[in-house]
């Protein structure tokens, strides 16, 4: 038979921290989680409440999960982040970077000081979370340029189309095509062609606002989304961007040969059935820019 002293040692040896929390958010007991590489020492939490330890938003979130576990009597599994900004008076020792946890919360069949209580076991999943982020980024990112790919484009433009329909927030779409890239590949080699494509991506990053996004749509075709931008603003930005492309691409000139960029501009309209209608108009405008002599901006007709 295991004695109380031995059970205490077992609980203290748990690799992950385990908390007994009351319905009102009081820390009744803390066990395990002593490795400072992964966890802060929680022994000083006993007797405190969530409101005393955490910022209001985070404390209220914890209380809502406790309430759900007590009401359902079922195991609750939640992923959440905790960082220094979430915790009041956090000691200096322990990890400084935000930590991601998987919490497993189960109602217990006894009361403490006439209050219902739960067992909250917190497992550090920061490495797994970072790996999942990297996988998502890889699935959404073009390997050559580091820009988003068509998969991400479809998701983002669907959201922006919905934003116009529901809230009237405009979005402009630019469709870009590199002029003379085939000639560059044939005469100077595909490595120079790739350098040209990468230079376009670099220029986008330099001149974008935080809300703007670029996507590699095809071999030498790109799409740019400009949320919160109307037609006049998008035309001015497209011309600014075209000149910036020229400056950057001329640096790659060899034997007087370098690429330029043609741009078609369209805005998402209320009568569009989907973002695909907008893309089609931007593509038509791009064709008009190419047909008119290349290295220019054309606006789509509504």
CATH number at residue 49: 3.30.450.20
pLDDT for the residue 96: 57
- Are 90 and 227 in the same domain? no
- Are 78 and 211 in the same domain? no
Domain assignment present for residue 136? The answer is no
In this prediction, residues 255-282 reach a mean pLDDT of 94
CA 230/CA 302 separation, integer angstroms: 13
Give 91's pLDDT tier (boundaries 50, 70, 90): low
Give, in order, the Cα–Cα distances in Å from 124 to each of 50, 131, 140, 185, 281: 19, 13, 26, 50, 49
Lowest mean pLDDT among 130-139, 166-175, 236-245: 130-139
Is 204 in contact with 214 (CB distance < 8 Å)? yes
Scan for tokens 């999960």, then name that residue: 65
User: Which is nearest to 222 in space by CA: 162, 293, 146, 170?
Assistant: 146
- Are 158 and 275 in the same domain? yes
- Are 153 and 123 in the same domain? no
User: Which is nearest to 29 in space by CA: 56, 13, 55, 8?
Assistant: 8
Residue 262's SS3 state is strand
Domain assignment present for residue 34? The answer is yes
- Give the helix ranges, DSSP H, for the chain: 4-12, 50-53, 56-72, 126-140, 150-167, 181-188, 190-207, 231-250, 275-291
- Are 157 and 257 in the same domain? yes
- Are 278 and 169 in the same domain? yes
- Which range of residues forms the domain containing residue 100? 4-131
Is 116 in contact with 70 (CB distance < 8 Å)? yes
186: which 2 tokens?
């044939």
CA 260/CA 128 separation, integer angstroms: 43
Domain count, the chain: 2
pLDDT for the residue 3: 63
- Are 93 and 157 in the same domain? no
pLDDT above 80 for 51: yes
- Are 107 and 217 in the same domain? no
The fraction of the chain above a pLDDT of 70, given in percent, is 89
CA 173/CA 38 separation, integer angstroms: 45
């Amino acid at each position: 038979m295991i004695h109380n002293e031995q059970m205490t040692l077992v609980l203290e040896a748990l690799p992950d921290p385990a908390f007994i929390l009351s319905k009102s958010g009081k820390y009744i007991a803390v066990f395990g989680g002593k490795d400072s590489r992964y966890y802060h020492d929680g022994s000083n939490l006993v007797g405190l409440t969530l409101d005393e330890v955490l910022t209001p938003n985070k404390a209220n979130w914890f209380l809502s999960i406790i309430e759900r576990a007590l009401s359902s009597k079922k195991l609750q599994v939640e992923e959440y982040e905790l960082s220094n900004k979430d915790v009041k008076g956090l000691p200096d020792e322990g990890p400084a970077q935000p930590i991601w946890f998987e919490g497993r919360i189960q109602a217990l069949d006894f009361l403490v000081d006439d209050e219902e209580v739960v067992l909250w076991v917190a497992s550090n999943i920061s490495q797994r979370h970072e790996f999942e982020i990297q996988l998502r980024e890889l699935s959404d990112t073009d390997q050559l340029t580091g820009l988003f790919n068509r998969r991400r484009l479809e998701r983002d433009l669907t959201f922006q189309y919905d934003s116009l329909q529901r809230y009237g927030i405009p979005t402009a779409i630019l469709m870009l095509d590199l002029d003379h890239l085939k000639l560059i590949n044939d005469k100077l080699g595909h490595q120079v062609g790739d350098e040209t494509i990468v230079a376009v991506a670099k220029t986008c990053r330099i001149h974008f606002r935080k809300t703007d996004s670029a996507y590699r749509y095809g071999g030498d075709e790109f799409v740019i989304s400009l949320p919160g931008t109307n037609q006049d603003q998008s035309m001015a930005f497209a011309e600014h961007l075209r000149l910036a492309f020229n400056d950057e691409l001329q640096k790659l000139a060899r034997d007087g040969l370098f690429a330029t960029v043609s741009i078609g501009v369209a805005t998402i309209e209320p009568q569009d059935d989907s973002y695909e209608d907008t893309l089609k108009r931007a593509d038509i405008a791009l064709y008009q820019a190419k047909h008119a002599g290349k290295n220019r901006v054309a606006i789509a007709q509504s």
